[in-house]
Amino acid sequence: MSNPKTYSIVTLGSHSALQILKGAKDEGFKTIAVVKKGFEEPYSSFKVADEIISIDEYPDFSKLEQQLIDKNAILIPHGTLFAACSVDQLKDNKMLYFGDKEVLAWEESRIKQRQWLLGSGLTMPKIYANPEDIDEPAIIKFNGAGGGKGYFLAKNKVEFEEKIALHKDTTYIIQQYIIGNPIYIHYFYSPLNDELEIMSMDKRYETNVDSIGRISASDQLDLNLQTSYNIIGNIPIVARESMLAEFFKMGRAVVDKSKELTSKGMFGPFCLEMVITPDMEYFVFEISARIVAGSNPYIDGSPYTALRYPEPMSTGRRIAREIKNAIEQNKLDKVLG
Ligand code: AMP
């Protein structure tokens, strides 16, 4: 079957589904949005879905397995899918799946992720094994926290204990807080031609950390404010051009390392999340081995994709282009997990 028209592209209606489905349509695929009841309107109003399937809750998605297999649908994963289904559920699911399923285990475990990133030669913030070890500002991150919700800062053990007492979640890490500017680099790696592309970049818009500066320091103290990092949107960034060569090296390093960790290695979209200090040190605190919502401002392409492509190229469309190229070259197995 080397005709893309015989396949559909399906994703959960949330996160980055609009650009995934729009991009798939632009590349000639039929599109299916699986949407939680009550959340259908964006997918019908923006006309990105040829078919909308409503479900009561996201985990019900797995009940659609056979129906979607019958439609020859290729599933594009994103953050909401990983929040809804466990890595084991995704592994057991027999649907066509874009991406390397083996790499999910390396992304999911903070310990394995750290091994991967350090093994790629990247610099990461320190991890404090015990609260007693905190000797400079630290950020406490909960495992289950979606998008930074509940994270807090502590500068020593006493402050840590005061603040942790307010939380029920006991699975967290204590990480060195890096003073600098966060930047999220969105990449795409093609296993078909071994090319690495920088698609776009963003920074997060988070509540309340991005609004605290709107009131004076004395008011901040009076109100006894605690910073939180609950994401509500994404803001585009274009980096200083002299930094791009290093970004390419970093992206290539994690791709190369992933090939030692899994049989296919990571491919498709991924994101390196870092803080850059005034000394121009790059501290990577996380990798997302999939499309990130930070690429959503670029549905019509980014300044970087404009350099490489004559047509507007979102990350969602780039995924569909990769699948189309693979189908036409009879290499679909290279991009399926
Ligand atoms: P995350 O949910 O891991 O993407 O992080 C949520 C927020 O915390 C983002 O604004 C990050 O830039 C920030 N952040 C995460 N880790 C660190 C760190 N080690 N140092 C400074 N800021 C961080």
Verify whether ligand 1 is closer than 6 Å to residue 150 (CB atom).
no
Ligand 1 centre from 301 Cα, in Å?
26
316 token code pair: 């969602």
For residues 9 and 35, state if they share a domain. Answer: yes
What 3-state class would DSSP assign to 198?
strand
For residue 1, what pLDDT is reported?
65
Ligand 1 centre from 265 Cα, in Å?
26
Q: Work out which ligand 1 atom sits closest to the CA atom of 145.
A: 2
pLDDT band at 318 (very low <50, low <70, confident <90, very high): very high
Verify whether ligand 1 is closer than 6 Å to residue 122 (CB atom).
no
For residues 214 and 144, state if they share a domain. Answer: yes
Our mutation pick for probing the ligand 1 site, out of 128, 184, 202, 204, counting the most ligand atoms within 8 A of Cβ, is 204
pTM of structure? 0.95
For residues 197 and 311, state if they share a domain. Answer: yes
DSSP-derived secondary structure for 11-80: EESSTTHHHHHHHHHHTT-EEEEEEETT--HHHHHTT--SEEEEESSGGGGGGGHHHHHHTTEEEPP-HH
For residues 113 and 32, state if they share a domain. Answer: no
For residues 192 and 215, state if they share a domain. Answer: no
Verify whether ligand 1 is closer than 6 Å to residue 175 (CB atom).
yes
Instruction: Please identify, among 195, 217, 234, the residue that sits at the C-terminal boundary of a domain.
Output: 234
Q: Work out which ligand 1 atom sits closest to the CA atom of 273.
A: 4
Verify whether ligand 1 is closer than 6 Å to residue 282 (CB atom).
no
For residues 296 and 196, state if they share a domain. Answer: yes
For residues 49 and 17, state if they share a domain. Answer: yes
Domain count, the chain: 3
Domain that holds residue 45: 1-97
Q: How many residues does the chain have?
A: 337
Verify whether ligand 1 is closer than 6 Å to residue 229 (CB atom).
yes
For residue 175, what pLDDT is reported?
96
Instruction: Please identify, among 81, 97, 113, the residue that sits at the C-terminal boundary of a domain.
Output: 97
For residues 133 and 275, state if they share a domain. Answer: no
For residues 254 and 156, state if they share a domain. Answer: no
DSSP-derived secondary structure for 73-130: EEEPP-HHHHHHS-HHHHHH--SEEBS-TTHHHHHH-HHHHHHHHHHTT-B---EESS
For residue 145, what pLDDT is reported?
47
Q: Work out which ligand 1 atom sits closest to the CA atom of 175.
A: 19
User: Residue 117 sits in a domain of what CATH number?
Assistant: 3.30.470.20
Query: pLDDT exceeding 90 applies to what percent of the chain?
Result: 88
For residues 261 and 223, state if they share a domain. Answer: no
Taking only the tens place, the pLDDT of each residue in 177-231 is 999 999 999 999 999 999 999 999 999 999 999 999 999 999 999 998 888 888 9
What 3-state class would DSSP assign to 8?
strand
β-bridge mates for residue 146, sequence order: none
Shortest-distance Cα residue to atom 15 of ligand 1? 285
Instruction: Please identify, among 187, 219, 234, the residue that sits at the C-terminal boundary of a domain.
Output: 234
DSSP H/E element including 23: helix 17-26
Average pLDDT over residues 111-139: 96
Verify whether ligand 1 is closer than 6 Å to residue 188 (CB atom).
no
Ligand 1 centre from 99 Cα, in Å?
25
For residues 44 and 134, state if they share a domain. Answer: no
Verify whether ligand 1 is closer than 6 Å to residue 285 (CB atom).
yes
Whether 2 has a pLDDT exceeding 90, the answer reads: no
Phi, psi (rounded to 5 degrees) for 289: -90, 55
User: Residue 83 sits in a domain of what CATH number?
Assistant: 3.40.50.20
Verify whether ligand 1 is closer than 6 Å to residue 152 (CB atom).
no
For residues 159 and 258, state if they share a domain. Answer: no
